[in-house]
Amino acid sequence: QKEVEQDPGPLSVPEGAIVSLNCTYSNSAFQYFMWYRQYSRKGPELLMYTYSSGNKEDGRFTAQVDKSSKYISLFIRDSQPSDSATYLCAIKPGAGSYQLTFGKGTKLSVIP
Amino acid sequence: GAVVSQHPSWVICKSGTSVKIECRSLDFQATTMFWYRQFPKQSLMLMATSNEGSKATYEQGVEKDKFLINHASLTLSTLTVTSAHPEDSSFYICSADRQDYGYTFGSGTRLTVV
């Protein structure tokens, strides 16, 4: 079993829809969770960073972490065509560790 | 927020020449920076961890003599692809860990070796 599993999609939704992106992980030692958005031929852009179970909201984005299920989600409300990109989850163990493990990324298309 | 600047954004070079890519942390000091490589439609692959004032730590399978990393200051790390060949053509991305902001990435460098 891979350390981080992420459905690569592609995922296509109409403009204004709520998007749900998910990752599962296998190692309970992972404590820090990040979501990145990557446009084609650009570096990943950090969207959300959290280290506790529960929800964290920032504008149209909500990150959800369930450590008991080893499941993390990113919700995008009122999706826009500009949200079309690849979304990567990334996780790492404790604060002192630098090892960052990425999901394969989910390609999202928001159709006008 | 934390900003990481990477240059150049794209470069074309002839086979056998060397190319240097710079990664700068603009508003914070980065003791450690990371270099990734990304192939089309694939996720990021960690190449090496760059530590200020010491030698870089390379991931298994990455040739340290081909991919030279220098981290001479707390705000600058460089990756030099030596004697580049077409198979080195790829998208190279640096990142730094800003504790309160997570990992921040540069905009990436697209290298094409002809």
Hey, what are B66's tokens? 């081909």
Find out whether A3 and A33 touch, Cβ atoms under 8 Å.
Answer: no
Q: What is the tens place of the pLDDT at every residue in B12-40?
A: 999 999 999 999 999 888 888 999 999 88
In a mutational test of the B interface, the residue from A39, A100, A106, A107 whose CB has the highest number of chain B CBs within 10 Å is A100
pLDDT, residue A96, reads 63
Stretch 44-63 of chain A: residues touching chain B, C-beta under 8 Å: 44-46, 49
Is the Cα torsion angle B52, B98, A44, A25 positive or negative in sign? Answer: positive
By C-alpha distance, the chain A residue nearest B10 is A41
- CA B20 → CA A43, B9, B67, distances in Å? 18, 12, 10
Contact B43 A103 (CB under 8 A): yes
Q: How far is residue A22's CA from residue A74's CA, in Å, rounded to a whole number?
A: 6
Share of chain A above pLDDT 70, in %: 95
Report the pLDDT value the prediction gives residue B30, as an integer from 0 to 100: 86
- Higher pLDDT among residues A84 and B100, named by residue: A84
Which residue does chain B place closest to A107, by CA atoms? Answer: B41
Does A90 sit within 8 Å of B99, measured CB to CB?
no
A2 pLDDT more than 80: no
Residue with tokens 């296998």: A26
Query: Residue B68's beta-bridge partner residues?
Result: B80
List of chain A residues whose C-beta atoms are within 8 Å of the C-beta of residue B97? 98
CB–CB contact B93 A43 (8 Å): yes
Give how far Cα A62 sits from Cα of A15, A47, A93, Å: 18, 10, 22
SS3 A83: helix
Q: Residues B78, B19: contact at Cβ < 8 Å?
A: no
- Give the three-state DSSP class for A86: strand
Task: State the Cα–Cα distance between residues A33 and A72, nearest whole angstrom.
Answer: 8
